[in-house]
Copies of this chain bind each other. A is one copy, B any other.
Amino acid sequence: MSARAGIVITGTEVLTGRVADLNGPYLADRLLELGVELAHITLCGDRPADIEAQLRFLADQDVDLIITSGGLGPTADDMTVEVVARFCDRELVLDAELETTIRRIVGNLMSRYPGVDAEAVHAANRKQALVPAGATILTPVGTAPGVVVPGHPTVVVLPGPPRELQPMWQAAAATDAVADALAGRTLYEQETVRMFGLPESGLAETLREAQRDVDGFDRLEITTCLRRGELEIVTRFEPQDAPVYDALLATLSDRHAQEIFSTDGALVDDQVAALLTGRAIATAESCTGGLLAARLTERPGSSAYVCGGVVAYANSAKAEVLGVDPELIEAHGAVSEPVAEAMARGALARFGADTAVAITGVAGPGGGTEAKPVGTVCFSVALAGGTVVTRTTTMPGGRSDVRDRSTTIAMHMLRRVLSASR
């Protein structure tokens, strides 16, 4: 049996959803890489009794490692270290060297805010130098130190801000205490298949067939999910079961050759980035308001192939900035294939690009008609050689669903058109 872990995310702002938790997903990925089985993530507010109850729950579930996030700040609602010390039955002691370190860090920060009383701030930060006796201290990346408390379970206490937590987890993972806790873990392999254009029920049926036909199927741990309009099938297995996975993959490929676009973990974003190498792309967006340009420029190095884009929200902007003929808009409406195509051609010309993609649609909640209900979106991809591919889709969901899903459809159109033009 593999080493098992649990994660405790504290913070009323995270429990209530005012801040999205990024630490659970980050730590889940790191544990997976280490071959540790993540059993539970629990979230609670800044209440000692609730934090302690979650620690006890995870200990009762016999996890080898607990990682906590949050509650290490200078404010009075931050008390994770105190609760963990009590849970691990250790006293809190003031670490003088750590206090000096925090004082130095905070002194530097204060120079940016001339109006703040530095001595008062030092007092507020002093409590951050209290650590459980015998714990390994993790040097602060921000102002808050973390700790590793050895034992069963071993508890790693990390700060809430992802920018601090991430390097401090790397430091924690290198400690003897964490190595001891994770001794004897199983290494798993994980493979991902991504599809576009198949309903989840269709996949379910194929998996049922595979269960009947593939020998050893039940040793694969398969999870499927719909994500941004794509189906993702993640399979986890022990190395000796690789041939079973290969048999599953053969079944999927056989049934869904059209819909599978990735079997190596690559996202459509990775594939489009690779296809754009050596090219120059421009975007023309209406209802997505810049989300597609933002998605294309999300990755480092995208400046090599992204020229830019136009958000032509108003009809006048479509005409004046992209050069769409106002009579075309008058005749067909702003949400129409002729206008999408003219927007793509306009982006090609305006930016001197060789690849352009345009999106115009009704994101809602208003603006829908019987002929063009909310969720109607037209897409056009144009290449400098003369290729133009234009499509209309109607999708379900609210404003943000339609906007987000539209960027995915545009990425898949780009992928298909660029693959075909190679």
Interface presence of A151 (CB below 8 A): no
CB under 8 Å from chain B, chain A span 3-45: 11-13, 15-21, 24-26, 28-29, 32, 38-45
Interface presence of A50 (CB below 8 A): yes
The answer, among B13, B73, B211, for a CB contact under 8 Å with A232, is: B13
Q: With A and B bound together, what is the CA distance between A234 and B17 in angstroms?
A: 12
Q: Is the CB of B40 within 8 A of A234?
A: no
Interface presence of A386 (CB below 8 A): no
Interface presence of A278 (CB below 8 A): no
Determine the main DSSP class of A at the interface with B: mixed
CB under 8 Å from chain B, chain A span 63-92: 73-77
| Closest chain B CB from A10 CB (angstroms) | 11
The answer, among B18, B113, B309, for a CB contact under 8 Å with A227, is: B18
Q: Is the CB of B320 within 8 A of A352?
A: yes
The answer, among B201, B297, B351, for a CB contact under 8 Å with A106, is: B201
Interface presence of A288 (CB below 8 A): yes
Q: Is the CB of B225 within 8 A of A19?
A: yes
Q: Given that A163-B401, A300-B365 are contacting pairs, would A289 and B306 also be in contact in the complex, using a CB cutoff of 8 Å?
A: yes
The answer, among B12, B32, B199, B211, for a CB contact under 8 Å with A223, is: B12
| Closest chain B CB from A124 CB (angstroms) | 4
Q: Which residues of B contact A42 (CB under 8 A)?
A: 40-43
* 27 pairs, A vs B, C-beta closer than 8 Å: A13-B223, A16-B25, A18-B225, A18-B234, A40-B53, A41-B42, A46-B223, A75-B207, A109-B201, A110-B201, A120-B208, A125-B201, A163-B396, A282-B317, A289-B293, A289-B306, A290-B293, A294-B403, A298-B399, A307-B313, A307-B317, A308-B312, A308-B317, A309-B311, A311-B311, A314-B351, A316-B352
9 nearest interchain CB pairs?
A17-B25, A290-B290, A289-B297, A290-B293, A308-B317, A13-B225, A12-B223, A290-B294, A41-B43
| B-binding residues in A (CB < 8 A) | 11-13, 15-21, 24-26, 28-29, 32, 38-46, 50, 53-54, 57, 61, 73-77, 106, 109-110, 112-113, 116-117, 120-121, 123-125, 143, 161, 163, 198-205, 207-208, 211, 221-227, 232, 234, 282-283, 285, 288-294, 296-298, 300-303, 306-314, 316-317, 320-321, 350-352, 364-366, 396-401, 403
